[in-house]
Structure 1
Amino acid sequence: MLRLLVLMILLGCTTENNLTFATNERPKARTINVKVDDDIGKAMLEYGSLVDERDGREYKTMGVSGQWWMAENLAYLPKVTALMTFYDEEQVQYFVYGYNGTDLAAAKNHENYSLYGALYNHDAAMEACPSGWHLPSKEEWEGLINALDATDDVGTRLKSAEYWDGTDDYGFNALPGGDGPPLLADSKPDRAGWWTNTTSLEDMCYAFTLESESATASFVSSLLAKGYSVRCVQN
């Protein structure tokens, strides 16, 4: 098995799919990629890590046929929103599943934050990724599924082998991080959703979703105020 260590310093953002990523106030992200010659399905898989220099948090990453994805849910949380204002679409909003309040330290100490990361309304999701990375489109999610050659049972194969019924064949580690509004503090989520940057209907966008006891995955058209997880893709 060939391993090659590549150090990449990402100096800014680019424009993808007619989307512009601001760089004037966004800090740099540092990525360390470890290349692994490992064929699964149709894809060449690579694994590495990303350091978000906004908060120093490190994430596992995976390269699928040359496209790099975060292999953990984004946990960037500059503030936290009380549930009473959940459906205010005019605000950038951040949530932690099971936490209801505005105390950022308390939200970050919640067990669901350390396990599942943060939930974002769509406005927050569009600007949450670190510099050099972006919120993926529906087409990029479809490309991931096709590259892995896992269209029939992609749900099972992407899900973590812990916390629900997955096999995590690729190291994507999809956890049941829930969606919003997360009203019950003592409830455990049995589904997961990740925002895309693709519009479905007026004031709605697609989310990629997985559910417990289902081997498949689906795209749902969701209100922009809803809270979903985020997986970022390298520009």
Structure 2
Amino acid sequence: MDRWAYGKNSGFSIRCIKDSETLTLPSVTTKSISGISQNSATGGGEITYNGGASVTARGVCWNTTGSPSINDNKTSGGQGIGSFVSTLDGLTAHTTYYVRAYATNSQGTAYGNEVTFTTTEIATTGTFIDERDNHEYRWVQIGEQTWMAENLAWLPAVNPSAAGSDSDPYYYVYGYDGMDVLAAKTSENYPVYGALYNWPAALSACPTGWHLPSDEEWTTLTTFLGGEDVAGGKMKEPDTAHWVSPNTGATNESGYSGLPGGYRDYYGTFVNIGSYGIWWSSKEHTPVTALHWQLISNFSNVNQGDSSFNEGFSVRCVKD
């Protein structure tokens, strides 16, 4: 190709060439922390710009001193821009952590804003006396709620399993089929599992300062424990001293100490001790049924159901 010199007043065609893009670190922000428990939490971030190069790694990093980096604890949340969620595991109870989202491209690693959170305390526990019968109960604080850590044992009367009512209060002790309260209290199951109550009895069974939990209060509990799919294991007493094998997922991390007290079914039969723990809520579901929550030996979840008013379930009270 020949080169020629022309005057500045000559007119020629023009072809443009694109400017070179300057590569930079990605732009990333850190999401607030949620789902905080004693040993885990949920975080994440959002990458809004890749810096002109592919984001090859992203996640969150954390420590207990501040300005965390990928040389500290970290999660791996995939690649590319956009939002992501990460679970922080292996945390220590009642400890403050510092968290930053990160994103890595060919230019290095960028960090988002720093956020902090504190894991929950190991369950706070105590005891109180029910002045009606001087029975002592253990309690546990779970999140912002205070729950009985054992089944209610208030027994002003006792009925055989074959007797039932949808409207009048009826009280039962699993395996006892008489009407003698003192005999019922010395029977095998009462000291461990407490009493069973039909729904009319359950509504007024809790001592002063405590009440039968609403369905919303049950939901608050299970949500705090990570949701229904995993909360059951955190609520069940571990091992098989009371639960039949396999007692799936049982850790009692919450301190709820759920026991399989069985129940009196619709037909007036005591069933499923060792396999099921079922507790009433105060929520009427239909004109003849109310909502309950249950734990089962071979599942790690907790689930809600509804049953006839005349069935006999355990009661756990929650503090006013």
With normalisation by structure 1, the TM-score equals: 0.77
Once the two structures are superposed, what CA deviation does each residue of 1:129-178 show, in whole Å capped at 9, x if it has no partner? Answer: 00011000111011011122253321122111142222211221100011
Higher percent of residues as helix = 1
- 1:64 corresponds to 2:150: no
Q: Which runs of 5+ in 1 are unaligned?
A: 1-36
SS in 2 for 1:55: coil
Equivalent residues in 2 for 1:171-210, closer than 5 Å: 171-181=255-265, 183=269, 188-210=273-295
Question: Could you say which residue in structure 2 is the equivalent of 1:169?
Answer: 253
Question: Could you say which residue in structure 2 is the equivalent of 1:34?
Answer: none
Q: Is the 8 A contact 1:42 1:149 kept in 2?
A: no
- 1:109 corresponds to 2:195: no
Structure 2 letter corresponding to 1:208:
W
Mark the CA change 1:195 to 1:188 in structure 2 (over 3 Å): closer, same or farther: closer
Q: Is the 8 A contact 1:42 1:148 kept in 2?
A: no
- Alpha-carbon distance in structure 1 between the residues aligned to 2:120 and 2:292: 23
- Alpha-carbon distance in structure 2 between the residues aligned to 1:50 and 1:194: 21
**Counterpart among 117, 131, 155 of residue 77 in structure 1:** 155
SS in 2 for 1:200: strand
Give, in angstroms, the shift of residue 68 of structure 1. Answer: 0.9
- Alpha-carbon distance in structure 2 between the residues aligned to 1:84 and 1:176: 21
**Counterpart among 211, 214, 219 of residue 142 in structure 1:** 219
Give, in angstroms, the shift of residue 66 of structure 1. Answer: 2.5
Question: Could you say which residue in structure 2 is the equivalent of 1:131?
Answer: 208
- Alpha-carbon distance in structure 2 between the residues aligned to 1:91 and 1:207: 19
- Alpha-carbon distance in structure 1 between the residues aligned to 2:312 and 2:235: 21
Question: Could you say which residue in structure 1 is the equivalent of 2:313?
Answer: 228
Question: Could you say which residue in structure 2 is the equivalent of 1:213?
Answer: 298
With normalisation by structure 2, the TM-score equals: 0.58
Q: Which runs of 5+ in 2 are unaligned?
A: 1-91, 96-117
Once the two structures are superposed, what CA deviation does each residue of 1:50-92 show, in whole Å capped at 9, x if it has no partner? Answer: 2101111111101122321101000000110122322x22321
Q: Taking CA–CA contacts closer than 8 Å with sequence separation of 6 or more, which of the two structures ends up with the larger relative contact order?
A: 1
Structure 2 letter corresponding to 1:57:
H
- 1:52 corresponds to 2:130: yes
Give, in angstroms, the shift of residue 213 of structure 1. Answer: 0.6
- Alpha-carbon distance in structure 1 between the residues aligned to 2:228 and 2:205: 28
Mark the CA change 1:65 to 1:184 in structure 2 (over 3 Å): closer, same or farther: closer
- Alpha-carbon distance in structure 1 between the residues aligned to 2:120 and 2:302: 19
- Alpha-carbon distance in structure 2 between the residues aligned to 1:119 and 1:201: 21
Q: Is the 8 A contact 1:43 1:148 kept in 2?
A: no
Q: Which consecutive aligned stretches of 4+ in structure 1 deviate over 6 angstroms post-superposition?
A: none
Structure 1 letter corresponding to 2:252:
D
| Higher Rg of the two aligned structures | 2
Please, what is the CA RMSD of the aligned residues? 2.2
